[in-house]
């Protein structure tokens, strides 16, 4: 899938990196490299610490994310080519993002939904999610479409996060 890629070198990329705005490609190859990428993403997510991490957040424009809303190791989940269906209810809640450190935004999302996806072997599965789990799935699926929490900002939120976003842009420019 990525001939020159060493999954162990993947790291979290931050706004305004352009990969975060890309429409991600469907995963069609289910091999050892994909499993290594998912394992590295889970490690980065836990180290951050966070509850979810999408492939664009490590520089890869593919339709995959990892998540674990509970923090319990047995609840690590790899989600490939997700589709969210049966969205129900709505609630506003503050969200953060590993690619937007120090930035928080109140986002309105569905409270319950069904996730359809495939696993690392390409086998389809379906899960129902509620509350935080449903929110995480929506947040990470947004990343796969090039959307970020800053796209949901109110005018007040833009003002509140202006300094943090400016700082992230300055760091990005210095890194070249």
CATH number assigned to the domain comprising residue 71: 3.90.45.10
Domain count, the chain: 1
Q: How many CA atoms lie within 13 A of 89 on its CB side?
A: 11
What's the whole-model pTM score? 0.96
pLDDT tens digit string along 47-96?
999 999 999 999 999 999 999 999 999 999 999 999 999 999 999 999 99
Q: Is residue 162 part of a domain?
A: no
Binned at pLDDT 50, 70 and 90, residue 176 comes out as confident
First to last CA, the chain: 27
| Residue 17 maps to a domain | yes
- With a cut of 80, say whether residue 123 has pLDDT above it: yes
In a domain, 71, yes or no: yes
Is 155 catalytic? The answer is no
Residue 75 resides in a domain? yes
Residue 1 lies in a domain: no
| Catalytic member of 32, 47, 123, 140 | 140
- So what's the pLDDT on residue 89? 96
Q: Is residue 176 part of a domain?
A: no
Domain of residue 69 covers 7-90+111-148
**Structural domain contains residue 115:** yes
| pLDDT bracket for residue 9 (50, 70, 90) | very high
Q: What pLDDT shows up at residue 3?
A: 81
- DSSP codes of every residue in 143-157: HHTT--GGGG--HHH
């Amino acid at each position: 899938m990525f001939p020159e890629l060493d999954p162990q070198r993947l790291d979290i990329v931050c706004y305004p990196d352009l990969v975060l705005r890309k429409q991600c490609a469907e995963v069609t190859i289910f091999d050892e490299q994909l499993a290594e990428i998912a394992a590295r993403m889970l490690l980065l997510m836990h180290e951050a610490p966070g509850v979810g991490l999408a492939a664009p957040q490590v520089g890869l424009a593919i339709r995959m994310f990892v998540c674990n809303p509970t923090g319990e190791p047995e609840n690590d989940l790899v989600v490939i080519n997700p589709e969210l269906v049966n969205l129900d209810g709505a609630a506003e809640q503050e969200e953060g993002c590993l690619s937007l450190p120090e930035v928080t935004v109140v986002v309105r999302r569905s409270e319950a939904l069904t996730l359809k996806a495939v696993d690392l072997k390409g086998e389809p599965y379906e899960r129902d999610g509620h509350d935080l789990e449903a929110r995480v799935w929506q947040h990470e699926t947004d990343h796969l479409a090039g959307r970020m929490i800053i796209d949901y900002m109110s005018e007040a939120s833009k003002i509140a996060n202006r300094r943090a976003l400016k700082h992230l842009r300055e760091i990005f420019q210095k890194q070249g």
